[in-house]
Structures are given as C-alpha cells and as structure tokens.
Amino acid sequence: MRGTMRRACTAGLVVGVLVTGLTACTGDTDGHGTARETDRAAATACAKGTFTWARVTTRDRLTGVSDPERLGKGGALRNPVRRVYTPSPSVRADGPAPSAAEVLFSLGKRTGEIDSDARTLAEAGGETWSFTDVRQPAPELDDDRVTPRAAGEFVQYAGVREVSADFRYTCPDGRTVSGHARNWTVDIAGLTDCDERPDSALAREVARHACEQAGSDGPSPSGA
C-alpha cells in the first residue's frame, strides 16, 4: 500500500502545473492516529520552512503574431494575431512541497512582482495577487492592437514577460525539496515594420516568424 501511494504521489508531482501539497504523501499511520491527523502534523511541522531561489531569469516571450500587411498610409490593421505560445503558471517539485500558490508567492516576492511584508501567502491577511493564481489564463491576443501612423509593411504581435527560477524549500527539521517555478507578468502588445531593422529580441523573433517568411513567399499588399 505504501509503495502504491508513493507512485501516485510522484505522478501527481510531474503531471500538470501544480505541485502536491505538504500533506499529499503522508497518509501512513502508526496506529495511534488517523491519516488525516498525521497529514496535519506533517504539514504543521514543515509549514514554517524557508525558500531559497537560484537561477532567476526574466525574458520576453512572443505569444502571438499576425501576417504582414502593407499600408500606403497609416490605418488599422486587419490581419488577426495567431497564437504561437501559451504562457501559464507552472510549478514542479521532486517531493512534497507547499502549494503552488505559496511557491509563486515566494517567487513573486523574490522578483519584486509582489510587495508584501507577509512571510507566506497564508499570512497575507486575505490579500490576493494574480501572480499566485495557478489558473491564471493566458492574455488575449487582440486586446491592445496598435495602429500604425505611416506607410510600411507591418506585423502586429503580442507577448508576455516571463519569470522563472529554481527553488529549494527547507523544513525546520531539515527536510528539503527542490523544484522549478514559472509565471508571466507583463502583457505586451507591439507593432513591427518589416521594412525596418528590429530593435529588440522580441522584434527580431517577430521578424523571423512573419517578415522573413513573407519575404520568401512574396507578400501581397493588403491596404492602400
């Protein structure tokens, strides 16, 4: 029975975007209490642990891009923005760990995304942050379209600023669990002119996705 529980817990840790909670793999008892009591004791014993973060990285990720449209003068672009990447919160761990929301709360504090004096999300007095929402949906692609004001061959694009890092969680009794967390922050909307040199890493990616391909296919004008 213990082996079956261990396999189930391991599968739960590697599938999906959530790590299992501290109580997930502590269902065995010694005959002096229920599994629920044992779970509660294990969670309490490790609830005041500490996070250590490493390899914190921030990068802009392209989430959507349109086909190029050549305009003889400024005006609204008509081509839809197609999705090329779907950002989502992700927390993985190699053993029982705090909830994904708690992990993301710690990451948010580490990166400055969350400004709070609370040590944990549970101690934050009911405050909420979208950064800790493990069900946070990807931003829509066409919400903030940009209208060009001059002639050119334009590509509308969308992106996010994504932050990720490795963590180690240490319980007061010395037990540790390691893992990796990721979430997105800034919702980006932009416009690139294929006739001009890209001025950022994200714009260069847009050019590779749309401008260069359109150039090889022979773009057709879509406006005047």
State the Cα–Cα distance between residues 142 and 132, nearest whole angstrom: 24
What CA–CA distance (Å, rounded) separates 123 from 116?
A: 10
Q: Is the pLDDT of residue 40 over 80?
A: no
How far apart, in whole angstroms, are the C-alpha atoms of residue 54 and residue 106?
12
Tell me the H-state helices in 15-99. 35-46
pLDDT-derived band at 176, boundaries 50, 70, 90: very high
Please check the confidence at residue 157 and state whether its pLDDT lies above 90: yes
pLDDT over threshold 90, residue 50? yes
122: closest CA among 8, 218, 22? 22
pTM: 0.72
List the Cα angle 75/76/81 in 5-degree steps: 145
